[in-house]
Structure 1
Amino acid sequence: MTSQRTKPFRAGRRLVFVRSIGTLWGQARRSWWADAPSCLVRASYDSAELVREAAGGTSRLRASSGGPRLMGMGAPRSGDALVIVHECGAGARLVMKRGEKDMSEWTWPEDPTDVDLITDGRRIVMRHGRGRLSWFAAESLGPPRPWSLKLVRQALGEVRMHVTGLWDLGDSLVVTTVDTWSQWRWDGELMACWRAPAYELGAVTVVAWHAAGPILYMRVIDPATGEQGSGRDAYRLVVWDPRRGVGRPLGPAHDWPRAARSPDGRWLVADRVTREGRGLELWDMATDTRVERLPTRRRAVEALAFAPDGLHVAVATMEDWFVLRVVPGEE
């Protein structure tokens, strides 16, 4: 039975409701779509859950610290494992779980701050709260090993190496720092690197990564005055061209937006708050045109993921998980 909470998302003509996947019990942190939609959920103070669409419903893999605060979580796109990091007396404890069994674990000194965590099932890459980057071998956990970013400095010159985020692209990963973005193979080989927008404009947040242009949440320069934007509409949703170092603003965004871009780069689906209120939007990136907006009021979207076909998108709210389809319209 389809939840009535999804009603605002079922009113579209270009974003069409297809099916409900199931209910999520917690806050969706990351979503992706390989052979099926998957969602990583912080289920509670001390537990994480990996939820995947399966025949007749969902499959769920859960891991818990048994009490201490969860610091981070991750899962490979294959959906066959779940990794958590949580506080413990010695600092932090990392546990990798497959099925109902804890396959491996490691404890090390660590500040009690949140960490970013991604994995391909063989390597676990972690951003520490102090802006450092480390990795573990998944099947034989040992002390965290440093992930060197010196190749980025060699390519781009003097830049700050304080790591701000990680993005799992499946066959590779992206590391964002205060000054740079870099794409790496999981074995540590550098594939490409770019300068990020000037941090002095204010915090620049990558909302969705895509080779054709990541989607950013950032303060922009007012072209009329040449000054930084201020006031309620100071921050914008921006499509950034990393090779040319320029951005295309898509309009103001209040709060923290969520977005996903289709594999071919054509479509952007974004949840954002503007002066119109909260809405889920469909953008045609070929023309930078908003083709539909579904007013959703308080139905905030937590995570989005496009299917490989570029026309279906999985949407996770605080409680519901469902699939929408993009109707291209007349070409």
Structure 2
Amino acid sequence: MRSQYSAPFRKGQRLVFAREIGPLPGDVPIVWWADEPCCLVQGFFNRGAELVRESTAHQESARLRCSASPELGPYTSGPRLLGKAAPRAGDGLVIVHEHPAGVRMVTSREQGIVGERIWRQEPFNISLVTDGRRIIVRDPRGMALLCHDSWRLDAPPTSWSTGPLRRATDPAQLVVVDLLDLGDSLLISTPDTYSRWSWDGALLERWPGPPKESMAPHLVAWHPDGPVLYKTIFDPATGRWTCGRSGWHLVIWDLKREEERSLGPSYDWPRGARSPDGRWLVVDRVAQGGRGLELWDLSTSTLVERLPTRRHPVRALAFAPDNLHIAVASGTEFFVLRVVA
């Protein structure tokens, strides 16, 4: 029996349904592509997270769970989950949850919990990324905090510090808007810059972002030729930034020319991914004709195909290294689409 969630994506002529991976046990997935598609999901009732990875060797998905309260049942509420991350290799999982002493970080691999640390902080949601040894955390103030060797119980105690990630860019303050795991490095976006850093905290590259405006742009998908942004645009006719429901556009920001190219309004927060070669963009958004999954050829700025999805929005997606396959998390389903070039 076909899933109601994946059914709308089986009708494409250029975006073709390739295969099912399996159900997702929660919400708010983060998708990336290692050797195989991976998806990070927030578990039921904010108890923990689960890493779902396609396993072609076993013809089923491999799953790694990490919970704040593993002794509780799957439908029992536990400490509130504040953040989650997994290394690109898909061999570990880290969560941060509320704790009576502040917040608690738990790192886990297949053999179970391998490390934990507790520090004083108000229990706000935080974003974090990891390469499987080091963990970068964006705290509620927007600062980047670096923690080394958090996956080893025998590692010497290390304190949280704002370290080289902050001092190398601005001695006064670095306000971090987004953290993004790029595999061999990480991306840190601020209100007016994008910068690529090594996991040891060395600045590798930096690019200027769009001109400052009333609202900071939101990063939809990253590519070194041009990130995909969700932002307001400048209207030369009025001399003002656009506003209102149709004022937010899907935009390609050219890092080299420092120019933007609008792909039209988006009436809801879009989800998207750009292929490694930069040609293809797959994005789920609400346009004037309703919600749909769109395939764009950015080499010609052409909308190639649009699949109406209605009440089945895509939560996250990622391109494979071959530029043709896309891992998609939609509702409670995880599957793969293919671009017919």
- CA distance in structure 1 between the partners assigned to 2:30 and 2:206 by the alignment: 24
Query: How does 1:49-64 map onto structure 2 within 5 Å?
Result: 49-54=50-55, 55-64=58-67
TM-score, normalised with respect to structure 1:
0.94
Find the counterpart in structure 1 of residue 268 from structure 2.
255
Find the counterpart in structure 1 of residue 205 from structure 2.
192
Find the counterpart in structure 1 of residue 141 from structure 2.
130
Find the counterpart in structure 1 of residue 75 from structure 2.
none
Q: What secondary structure, in the 3-state scheme, does the structure 1 residue paired with 2:6 have?
A: helix
Find the counterpart in structure 2 of residue 145 from structure 1.
161
Cα distance, 1:201 vs. partner? Answer: 3.4
- CA distance in structure 2 between the partners assigned to 1:238 and 1:246 by the alignment: 10
Cα distance, 1:187 vs. partner? Answer: 1.0
Q: What secondary structure, in the 3-state scheme, does the structure 2 residue paired with 1:8 have?
A: helix
Query: How does 1:79-228 map onto structure 2 within 5 Å?
Result: 79-137=90-148, 138=150, 139=152, 140=155, 142-147=158-163, 148-153=165-170, 161-228=174-241
Find the counterpart in structure 2 of residue 307 from structure 1.
320
Q: What secondary structure, in the 3-state scheme, does the structure 2 residue paired with 1:9 have?
A: helix
- CA distance in structure 2 between the partners assigned to 1:230 and 1:4 by the alignment: 36
Gaps of 5+ in 2: 70-77
TM-superposition CA deviations, 1:86-116 (whole Å, max 9, x none): 1101111111001141101000111211111
- CA distance in structure 2 between the partners assigned to 1:175 and 1:37 by the alignment: 24
- CA distance in structure 2 between the partners assigned to 1:249 and 1:201 by the alignment: 18
Identity %: 52
Task: Determine whether 1:238 maps to 2:245.
Answer: no
> How big is the alpha-carbon RMSD for the aligned residues of Structure 1 and Structure 2?
1.5
Rate the CA distance shift 1:201–1:287 in 2: closer, same or farther, 3 A.
farther
- CA distance in structure 1 between the partners assigned to 2:168 and 2:48 by the alignment: 36
Find the counterpart in structure 1 of residue 87 from structure 2.
76
Task: Determine whether 1:266 maps to 2:258.
Answer: no
- CA distance in structure 1 between the partners assigned to 2:279 and 2:59 by the alignment: 31
- CA distance in structure 2 between the partners assigned to 1:17 and 1:3 by the alignment: 13
Which protein is richer in strand relative to its size?
Answer: 1
- CA distance in structure 2 between the partners assigned to 1:11 and 1:112 by the alignment: 44
Cα distance, 1:203 vs. partner? Answer: 2.8
TM-superposition CA deviations, 1:227-273 (whole Å, max 9, x none): 21122210000000123221111110111100000011110000000
Cα distance, 1:160 vs. partner? Answer: 5.9
Cα distance, 1:326 vs. partner? Answer: 0.3
Gaps of 5+ in 1: none
- CA distance in structure 2 between the partners assigned to 1:308 and 1:283 by the alignment: 18
